[in-house]
Amino acid sequence: MRIHALAAVLLACVAGIGVATGQTQAPPPSPPAPAPLDADALRKKIDAYLQPLVADGHVSGTLLLARGSEILYERSFGMANYELGVPNTPDTRFCIASITKPITVMLVAQLAEEKKLAVSDPLEKWIPGFPEGDKITIDHLLNHRAGIPHRVTTPAEEAVPRTAAGMVELARQQKLLFPPGSQSVYSSAGYSVLARIVELASGTTYEQAVAERIVKRAGLRDTFHVTSRAVLPRRASSYLAGPDGPRNAPLVDVSFLVGAGSLYSTPADLFRLLLAVRDGKLGEAARLSVTARPRVAMNGSTNGFRAFLDSDPATDLTVIFAGNMATGALDRIRADLPRLTAGESVETPQRLSVQPVRLDPAVLARYAGSYLLGGSTPFTVEVAGNTLETTGRVLVPISETSFFSPADYGTVNIVLKPDGSVERLDWVLADRVIACPRVAPE
């Protein structure tokens, strides 16, 4: 208690409160808010801000910025296909990864509003025989509290088309991470189970439910659930940022992420969807599923694809990006563009200065193996030339035990045991350190 009381006094002094007398001094006047830039000045400001990031080759996709219902900025960068020299355009379709999940939530909200399901329904009602299905509810699935692992597939199982029913069978074979409702662990596989419930409650496939209940009602033009075998005009290929430029991402069919990360779209279509939801075109429950929080913040990344949608009712500003090469440049854009648009002074990014070093192949091989992200989600690190690769990321050596991650501009430090074997990876992102213990060598 004494520590808390002392802290309160110190904070009071900093805030200008007269502790001895109990009187409060008037706070200094706030500086005037900067005036928002006009459209032409804003476009020039954004282009100047983006120039170093584009010069580094770390922006590949389409960026859209709007105030209210008016699009102020829409521009594409990089290539939809680097091998064929096909540039990205505003019509290029990208996998929007986990932004698929809010769309699945909208479908569940619509079906609940129509009394075709209830979020309190046990999973057993819809998928009999699922482990702990009498204890898992739809609400648990929506909030990542069912205990279903994030991934229930092997890389080989992610390379061919998958259905929601097939993903349920794969999820059924997995041991739950915890008793339903007792914890929360992010689970894309849980959303694939939700996609199957959407199918059973609506009497259509997930693909048809998206087309009829979302795309048609919102007037979308470029939003689809497709497999790798389907021909999707203007579909972008996905890439990983490497030390010498883009490299092809692994061959993946994102239908294994049905309901969780399986949709392709464009920033313009995502903007149409946002406006349609806010206008109630998808129903009141769907509207509340998006607008109940003070700000809309959607984000997704899978196998090189990256997308985000941020909308703030307080400023009426919306920033949307969808692209085919995830890099840390996109996180900088996401953080800085709202401030720049408001007229604030935002420092132009510096060009990257990363000096790769060449490591002995035996050293790289020692680091390969299986690790746990956050103590629960497994991932594999493999050797790829003079780099390491993990899902959607290239790790570039900058010393014998440190690597640069272009996908998030993080630093990955190898922590060794006294005997020289690997204990863990420390993934350093700004002021955060994510410890990833090693499970097994390759």
pLDDT in tens, 128-180: 999 999 999 999 999 999 999 999 999 899 999 999 999 999 999 999 999 99
Half-sphere exposure of 114 (CA within 13 A, CB side): 14
Domain assignment present for residue 54? The answer is no
Distance CA 224, CA 123 (A): 27
Domain assignment present for residue 68? The answer is no
What pLDDT does residue 3 have? Answer: 29
| Lookup: tokens for 130 | 């699922």
| Lookup: tokens for 319 | 């920033």
Domain assignment present for residue 60? The answer is no
Confidence check: pLDDT of 10 > 80? no
The region, left, alpha or beta by phi > 0 then psi within -120 to 50, assigned to residue 404 is beta
What pLDDT does residue 33 have? Answer: 53
Number of domains comprising the chain:
3
pLDDT in tens, 263-281: 999 999 999 999 999 999 9
Same domain, 160 and 290: yes
Same domain, 103 and 202: yes
What's the pLDDT band for 34 if we cut at 50, 70, 90? low
8 A C-beta contact, residue 196 and residue 168: yes
Among 3-17, 220-234, 270-284, which stretch is predicted with the lowest mean pLDDT?
A: 3-17
Residue 392, domain CATH: 2.40.128.50
The helix/strand count (H/E) of the chain reads as: 13, 22
Domain assignment present for residue 356? The answer is no
What pLDDT does residue 375 have? Answer: 67
What pLDDT does residue 58 have? Answer: 97
Domain assignment present for residue 47? The answer is no
Same domain, 264 and 372: no
pLDDT in tens, 44-65: 999 999 999 999 999 999 999 9
pLDDT in tens, 102-120: 999 999 999 999 999 999 9
Domain assignment present for residue 180? The answer is yes
What's the pLDDT band for 333 if we cut at 50, 70, 90? very high
Same domain, 277 and 156: yes
- Show Cβ contacts of residue 77 under 8 Å, excluding neighbours closer than 6 positions: 50, 54, 59, 60, 61, 62, 63, 88, 323
What pLDDT does residue 126 have? Answer: 98
Average per-residue pLDDT for the chain: 91
Domain assignment present for residue 83? The answer is no
Mean pLDDT of 23-44: 61
Same domain, 423 and 290: no
pLDDT in tens, 167-195: 999 999 999 999 999 999 999 999 999 99
Same domain, 168 and 311: yes
| Lookup: tokens for 88 | 């990205």
CA dihedral 390→331→413→148, nearest 10 degrees, is: -50
Same domain, 8 and 149: no
Q: Name the residue among 152, 202, 198, 195 with its Cα closest to residue 172.
A: 152
Q: Which percentage of the chain shows pLDDT scores above 90? A: 87
Same domain, 374 and 318: no
What pLDDT does residue 319 have? Answer: 98
Domain region containing 372: 361-441
8 A C-beta contact, residue 254 and residue 95: yes
Q: Name the residue among 41, 78, 81, 69 with its Cα closest to residue 330.
A: 78
Residue 106, domain CATH: 3.40.710.10
What's the pLDDT band for 431 if we cut at 50, 70, 90? confident
Judged by DSSP in three states, 71 sits in strand
Same domain, 13 and 111: no
Alpha helices in 292-424 (DSSP H): 328-341, 361-367
Among 29-38, 43-52, 179-188, 369-378, which stretch is predicted with the lowest mean pLDDT?
A: 29-38
Task: Specify the length of the chain in residues.
Answer: 442
What's the pLDDT band for 392 if we cut at 50, 70, 90? confident
What's the pLDDT band for 442 if we cut at 50, 70, 90? low
Same domain, 187 and 245: yes
What pLDDT does residue 75 have? Answer: 98
| 80 φ/ψ angles, rounded to the nearest 5 degrees | -70, -30
What's the pLDDT band for 210 if we cut at 50, 70, 90? very high
Domain assignment present for residue 346? The answer is no
This prediction's pTM: 0.89
